[in-house]
Amino acid sequence: MRTTTALREQACQVLEANWTGRFTKPAPRLYPHQWSWDAAFIALGWMHEDQERAQQELRHLFRAQWKHGLVPHIVFDRRARGYFPGPGVWETHRSPDAPARIATSGIVQPPVHATAAWAIYQQARDRSAARAFLEELFPKLAAWHDYLFRERDYYGEGLVYIRHPWESGMDNAPLWDGIAQRMHLNPGDRPRYRRVDTTLVAEADRPTSAEYDRYLYLVRLFAEAGYDEARIREACPFLVQDVLFNTLLCRAEQDLAEIAAELGEDSEPFRQRACRVAEAVNRKLWDDRRALYFDYDLVLDRPIWVRMAACFTPLFAGIPDGLQAARLVSHLEASGFFNWDGSCYSVPSYDPNGLGFSPVRYWRGPVWININWLLIEGLARYGYTEHAAHLCRTVRLLVERNGFYEYYHPYTGEGHGSEQFSWTAALVMDLLARRPEWMQWGVRSTRRRAVA
Ligand code: DGY
């Protein structure tokens, strides 16, 4: 068992090793560029160690913001090699909105950035630098959220859609299986390409080639549409109102309202938008019979009844009322996602009893630390401190025993995907700093046998 100081130092070394001088790579080899939601989670770790780097992380990302507000899911580092699909595949020059001199992808990832910026400000030792940072970022964050509501909430429902599995951040989640099956690709539709990811980590840990075919088919569709949202909306077989994405947007609007108020700006429009999203999530994505939030497929006009850990994350944004929260927590315990007894490291990304569950394959079952971090904060928000503390100890166990991996086998705890994964380290740093009592050994719990 390591001391808290030793663990924090090791986590910090992971970030240091992945720091490029301009931003932090998500992982040493598998992800050599900057990724959007990774940048936000990574900043949440840096803020405890090096405020300037935390700020720099988001500054670097927002420098690549498109003219109409889109924040790209990848900002390519021209010096880095060995990643597919690179800028040549994205062809973002076909859009008049893409930045001219910075190479990026043409899709988004979940909007955690206002949440990270507000946290950095609140933790900052150098308040005046943090204020200047907030002033610089505020209009960019507002433009980013405006983009999402303008382009992705076409029917004005208060829910934005994603149009690629990569936009969810949960690339190969079983959520998308039904849509992928509907995408009948003829030989001419199948892009020719060579993957790099499966040469760097075990093929069994990554999405399949059939999934990659569809990822790339969608990328080509976007490029051929010149990244024009109206044209994409017409043709795209993948249009989903995703629980996790909208939850994070709701929370980001709440945090943007805090930022606006701190800067003496009008916070009301952001608060109102946060409320609209929360209402819409409860109206359209809450399934009262199953006591869970589900994604919504806009193409088929019906819910996607696939049970993911992400379906519980509306707790993070305070979306459920007290009764809904209690039912969510009971559901979490009854379903096998959350175990007090050590039968499984909580919380796996996908239903352990679900069809197509895999303990190693990316978003089809392994434990991810960012989802657990969201659940820890969400459970704490509603007063479920025993549950939150239990998850904190699980996170600590996983990294102590196995290192800072991208994701973990829910039954053995073995690390999978890339080692030295930045957001795992960053979020452990954050929990050690902000939730020290829950990350300690020996404290409390009547139900402490869990995962011991
Ligand atoms: C990858 O390369 O695996 C990413 O998840 C896509 O952004």
More confident residue, 342 or 441: 342
Distances, alpha carbon 45 to alpha carbons 29, 57, 134, 244, 252, in Å: 20, 11, 18, 21, 18
Please work out whether the CB of residue 138 comes within 6 Å of at least one atom of ligand 1.
no
- The finding on whether 255 has its CB within 6 A of some atom of ligand 1 is no
> So what's the pLDDT on residue 196?
98
Instruction: Report the amino acid identity of residue 301.
Output: D
Residue 280 alpha carbon to ligand 1 centre in Å: 29
Binding site membership of 171 for ligand 1 (Cβ less than 6 Å): yes
Specify the pLDDT at position 343: 82
pLDDT digits (tens, 9 = 90+) for 361-414: 999 999 999 999 999 999 999 999 999 999 999 999 999 999 999 999 999 999
pLDDT at 450: 35
**What pLDDT sits at residue 451?**
40
- Report residue 190's pLDDT band, with 50, 70 and 90 as the boundaries: confident
Residue 443 has a pLDDT of 39
Average pLDDT over residues 9-16: 98
Q: Please indicate whether residue 166, judged by its CB atom, sits closer than 6 Å to ligand 1.
A: yes
Which member of 151, 167, 171, 253 is catalytic?
171
From residue 130, how far is each of 49, 137, 138 by CA, in Å? Answer: 14, 10, 12
**Residue 447 reports pLDDT greater than 80:** no
CA dist 439 and 446 (Å) reads 16
Helix H or strand E segment including 311: none
Q: Name the pTM for this structure.
A: 0.97
pLDDT at residue 209, as a whole number? 96
CA 376 to centroid of ligand 1, rounded, Å: 25
**pLDDT score for 446:** 37
64 pLDDT exceeds 80? yes
Average pLDDT of the chain, as a whole number? 96
Q: Specify the DSSP class assigned to residue 312.
A: G
- Distances 399 to 7, 24, 46, 266 between C-alpha atoms, Å: 9, 20, 18, 42
Q: What DSSP string describes 209-265?
A: HHHHHHHHHHHHHHHHTTT-HHHHHHH-S--EE-HHHHHHHHHHHHHHHHHHHHTTS
CA-109 nearest atom, ligand 1: 7
* 423: its two tokens: 């957001």
User: Percent of the chain, pLDDT > 90?
Assistant: 94
- 117-129 burial: b if 16+ Cβ within 10 Å, else e: bbbbbebbeeeee
